[in-house]
């Protein structure tokens, strides 16, 4: 009987010590930026648009790499709105002489989602 009580006590103790926290916290794993809903929405919107004709994730093309854009701007609401305005209205002079075309048919919400996506890419490995 004492042996059964000891086993049950040890089992409860082990269970209590092992509970709490997510498995990624326990293993030291970090979540991928792809797990973020802003990532999925922004990726879908940029894929549906003509963005990939001038931008790549890590390489400079006609326009700057998304990672470089994310690294240039601090991830704040003001900067996300600034980038969203540039996406909608176009721009020039920040990354060279080639102007970025306006995407005036995009809603403000979609342009913000695209800007959030770009900001997430700066941390992607």
Q: Is the dihedral of CA 30, 34, 35, 36 positive or negative?
A: positive
Angstrom distance (rounded) from CA 44 to CA 61: 20
DSSP states of 28-47: T----GGGSHHHHHHHHHHH
Q: What is the pLDDT of residues 40-60, one digit of tens each?
A: 999 999 999 999 999 999 999
* Domains of the chain by residue range: 33-91+100-125
Q: Measuring CA to CA, which residue among 125, 113, 96, 122 is closest to residue 44?
A: 113
Tens of pLDDT, residue by residue over 83-121, are: 999 999 999 999 989 999 999 999 999 999 999 999 999
Domain 33-91+100-125 matching CATH 1.10.760.10: the answer reads: yes
**Mean of the per-residue pLDDT values for the chain?**
81
pTM: 0.72
Cβ atoms within 10 Å of 98's Cβ, excluding its own: 12
């Amino acid at each position: 009987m004492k042996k059964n009580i000891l086993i049950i006590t040890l089992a409860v103790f082990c269970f209590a010590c092992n509970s709490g926290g997510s498995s990624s916290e326990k293993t030291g794993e970090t979540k991928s930026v792809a797990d973020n809903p802003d990532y999925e929405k922004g990726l879908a919107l940029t894929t549906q648009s003509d963005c990939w004709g001038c931008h790549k994730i890590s390489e400079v093309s006609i326009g700057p790499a998304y990672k470089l854009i994310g690294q240039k701007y601090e991830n704040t609401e003001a900067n996300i709105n600034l980038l969203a305005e540039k996406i909608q209205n176009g721009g020039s002079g920040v990354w060279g002489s080639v102007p970025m075309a306006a995407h005036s048919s995009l809603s403000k919400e979609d342009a913000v989602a695209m800007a959030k996506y770009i900001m997430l890419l700066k941390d992607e490995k």
